[in-house]
Amino acid sequence: MKNRTKMAVFASGNGSNFQALYEATQDGRLDADIVLVVADKPSAFVLERAKQAGVPAFSFTPREYASKQAYESMLVEKLEGAGVEWLVLAGFMRLIGPVLLRTYENRIVNIHPSVLPAFPGKDAIGQTLEAGAKEAGVTVHFVDEGMDTGAIIAQRSFAVDGSDRETVERKIHEIEHQLYPESLQQLFSRQQSV
């Protein structure tokens, strides 16, 4: 039997990337299991998606903890309890701190809706359009202590060509939903063969 990587998906909102990853784990494109969804907002729609998919989910409210260190220590317990090997951020709107970075060193990835290093941070699509950039796109990268600064794993771009925001957003999501499962499959298979 194939060795399936155990991952947790971290999200703050809609969770369309969670959905795409989950579907890839079910139809053979991604040899991994999402063993936990973590949301930093109890109202995040991703929690509803996890429930529908039968994936265990956990939400918390950061301001109820004394510090980032406090809530990340609590998360480490949950993650280790679920046997999580990789953290996969998908629309998680919070910087990862030293506790998680140390525990999951080189095993935290993120997806960002721009061709990094251009337009890191919030509203990357808005930043791209406002700057009049010729290209928009998506980056999958490792997470370090910075904001969207870790080593790049994969990128895909397309010409903006005067498209409106709605069109650019739709294309970005289409790319994300393919690129994330593909990149993780490659990454995990490299890990599994070492």
Using CB under 6 A as the criterion, which residues of the chain lie in contact with ligand GRF when the complex forms?
Answer: 11, 13-17, 90-91, 111-113, 176
17 is in an annotated binding site: yes
Q: In the bound complex, which residue of the shown chain has the CB atom lying closest to ligand GRF?
A: 91
DSSP SS3 for 109: strand
94 is in an annotated binding site: yes
6 is in an annotated binding site: no
3-state SS string for 72-90: HHHHHHHHHHCCCCEEEEC
Is 177 noted as a catalytic residue in this protein?
Answer: no
Nearer to ligand GRF among residue 72 and residue 148 (C-beta): 148
68 is in an annotated binding site: yes
Least distance CB 17 / ligand GRF (angstroms): 3
Nearer to ligand GRF among residue 90 and residue 101 (C-beta): 90
The per-type count for the chain, helices as H runs and strands as E runs, is 6, 7
Nearer to ligand GRF among residue 75 and residue 140 (C-beta): 140
Per DSSP bridges, beta strands 152-159 and 135-142 are antiparallel
16-26 and 165-192 helices, crossing angle to 10° = 40
Least distance CB 177 / ligand GRF (angstroms): 9
Task: Count Cβ atoms below 10 Å from residue 170 Cβ, excluding itself.
Answer: 11
ω before 42 within 30° of 0 (cis)? Answer: no
Least distance CB 69 / ligand GRF (angstroms): 24
List of residues 6+ apart from 168 with CB closer than 8 A: 125, 128, 129, 136, 160
Least distance CB 192 / ligand GRF (angstroms): 25
Please report, in range form, the residues annotated as the binding site for (6R)-10-formyltetrahydrofolate.
Answer: 68, 93-96, 110
Q: Which residues are marked as active site?
A: 112
